[in-house]
Chain A
Amino acid sequence: MNNSAMSTVELDVNGKRKAVVVRHADTLLDVLRVKLGLTGAKPGCGNGDCGACAVLVDDEPMHSCHMLAVEAAGKRVTTIEGLQGTALQQAFVDHWAVQCGYCTSGMIVASHGLLLRHPNPDEATVNEWLSSNLCRCTGYEEIKQAVLSVARSVGQAGGTTP
């Protein structure tokens, strides 16, 4: 389907190909949540400020509320649902890096992107990357320790996968 306001786009979400009819005006967040049922990315500010909606697009964190779904055609989208069972998910549990949980999916997604790019980040790099994600419970220290623990364990194992 392709008319002036809508198109059928092929999305690669968490390794699965999906053909989705989207309004050109639909954000990626809208499509993930409403059309694909992937509700892990959270609507927060709707303005690219809070990071609750973060997903990876070709391994780079993006605010999915600030990207049109039609722009994601041909790109790899990874949501929190695609990161189940990762060391990072477990580290958030182990470090009590979750309070109300609303920011958690965005935090884990952004941190996953960070560790893909910087497998052994220093604190300044973690701070810079996670400055994009707000936690109103203010559990930032636990979140940072969770991320750094995965970096350390990956470094000790000589691997690169978070």
Chain B
Amino acid sequence: MIPFDFEYCKPATVGEALKTFRDLQAAGKRVCYYGGGTEFISLARLGSVTTAAVIDLKGIPECLTLSENDQHVLIGAAASLTQIAEYRAYPLLSDHCRRIADHTSRNRITIGGNLAGVIEYREAVLPLLVSDAQVVVARGEGMETVSIHDIFKGTLLIGAGEFIIQLLVPRSEANLPYVSLKKTRHSKVDYPLVSIAASKKDGRIRLAVSGVCRYPFRYPPLEDEVNAANRSPLERAERAAARLPEPAVNDAFGSRDYRLFLLRHAIADTIRQLEGA
């Protein structure tokens, strides 16, 4: 049972959602946007979050879209991970979403919620980092489109009252050779010790990682080592794993050494698969 009451609003347009947020905030209320709600309900039940109002974004058609235009694959932020897994216009994202949580949970978890959540793995962002995706953000009185690299730096950099409407994946990136790989402690359904999304374009491997550090990343020095010429896949992987943006996590789920061991072999497998592609 959630031990506090809140208002529930379900706007039908982006503008209505922004206005609702402003109006509730002006009335002195704490407000949060709501997608699949899994993280919110878990934390609210424990009293770790409170709010006076939630704004459910699933009534906004733009947030639900799964479609394509001439330039982009359009992924609505309120699309569920199951819907994205089945949509397959960007197979790397589909396959990577299919390894997040369990099947029934994926029916609820939205991609926007995965990106904006407090659980640090945020694996759905990896294929977006690899593909240099654009993010449509509800901001001010309307919307802005920004690079994923500008709005996601380990965590989502989004202001109060703003929310993600859509993710735009360039069509030129959507059907490249790819690898989606996840190593967990002992079960298919678990948080990752290492999660990798990678693709290959113009002979160069692009690779993003979660589970190893405290946040997901795509890190150019690591990627340069992955693409170094005249070395074996394992040599490149070992050099890449030594170029993390911060020390690897060392906790009860996996020691630092074990995570790095898995990372080295996961990168080597990724190189082998993509260079054989």
Say whether B160 faces chain A, with CB atoms less than 8 Å apart. no
Whether B103 lies near A61 (C-beta < 8 A) is yes
What are the interface flags for A18-36 relative to B under an 8 Å C-beta threshold, 1 for contact and 0 otherwise? 0000011111001000000
A51 cross-chain contacts in B, Cβ below 8 A: 102, 104
Whether A63 lies near B105 (C-beta < 8 A) is yes
Q: Which residue of B lies closest to A60 (CB)?
A: B107
Say whether B41 faces chain A, with CB atoms less than 8 Å apart. yes
Q: Which of B5, B37, B102, B189 contacts A68 (CB 8 A)?
A: B37
Whether B104 lies near A61 (C-beta < 8 A) is yes
Given the interface contacts A61-B107, A110-B104, A132-B105, does A66 sit within 8 Å of B38 by beta carbon?
A: yes
Pull 9 A–B residue pairs with CB atoms less than 8 Å apart, ordered by A: A4-B7, A25-B44, A48-B108, A62-B107, A63-B108, A66-B105, A68-B8, A71-B37, A132-B105
B42 cross-chain contacts in A, Cβ below 8 A: 47-48, 66
Q: A48-B42, A63-B104 given. 6 additional CB < 8 A pairs? A: A5-B7, A26-B1, A48-B38, A60-B107, A65-B41, A66-B42
A5 to B103, alpha carbons, bound, how many Å?
A: 31
A24 cross-chain contacts in B, Cβ below 8 A: 5-8, 54
**What 4 pairs between A and B have smallest CB-CB spacing?**
A132-B104, A5-B5, A24-B8, A25-B2
Residues of B participating in the A interface, judged by any CB pair closer than 8 Å: 1-2, 4-8, 37-38, 41-42, 44-45, 53-54, 56, 58, 82, 102-105, 107-108, 188-189
A149 cross-chain contacts in B, Cβ below 8 A: none
A114: min CB distance to chain B, Å: 9
Whether B104 lies near A54 (C-beta < 8 A) is yes
Q: Which of A25, A47, A129 contacts B103 (CB 8 A)?
A: A129
Whether A23 lies near B108 (C-beta < 8 A) is no
Say whether A141 faces chain B, with CB atoms less than 8 Å apart. no
A23 to B4, alpha carbons, bound, how many Å?
A: 10
A128 cross-chain contacts in B, Cβ below 8 A: 103
Say whether A131 faces chain B, with CB atoms less than 8 Å apart. yes
What are the interface flags for A38-69 relative to B under an 8 Å C-beta threshold, 1 for contact and 0 otherwise? 00000000111001001000001111011110
What are the interface flags for A85-104 relative to B under an 8 Å C-beta threshold, 1 for contact and 0 otherwise? 00000000000000000000
A67 cross-chain contacts in B, Cβ below 8 A: 37, 41, 108
A25 to B41, alpha carbons, bound, how many Å?
A: 9
Say whether A70 faces chain B, with CB atoms less than 8 Å apart. yes
A48: min CB distance to chain B, Å: 5
B4 cross-chain contacts in A, Cβ below 8 A: 25
Whether A66 lies near B37 (C-beta < 8 A) is yes
A46 to B3, alpha carbons, bound, how many Å?
A: 14
B38 cross-chain contacts in A, Cβ below 8 A: 48, 63, 66
B102 cross-chain contacts in A, Cβ below 8 A: 51, 131-132
Q: Which residue of A lies closest to B42 (CB)?
A: A47
Say whether A7 faces chain B, with CB atoms less than 8 Å apart. yes
A129 cross-chain contacts in B, Cβ below 8 A: 103-104
A66 to B37, alpha carbons, bound, how many Å?
A: 7
A23: min CB distance to chain B, Å: 6
B82 cross-chain contacts in A, Cβ below 8 A: 60
B107 cross-chain contacts in A, Cβ below 8 A: 60-62
A87 to B5, alpha carbons, bound, how many Å?
A: 42
Q: Residue among A23, A61, A66 with the most chain B CB within 10 A?
A: A66
Q: Which residue of B lies closest to A29 (CB)?
A: B1
B1 cross-chain contacts in A, Cβ below 8 A: 25-27, 30
B7 cross-chain contacts in A, Cβ below 8 A: 4-5, 24
B219: min CB distance to chain A, Å: 32
B54 cross-chain contacts in A, Cβ below 8 A: 24
A71 to B5, alpha carbons, bound, how many Å?
A: 15
Whether A25 lies near B5 (C-beta < 8 A) is yes
A48 cross-chain contacts in B, Cβ below 8 A: 38, 41-42, 104-105, 108
B103 cross-chain contacts in A, Cβ below 8 A: 61, 128-129, 131-132
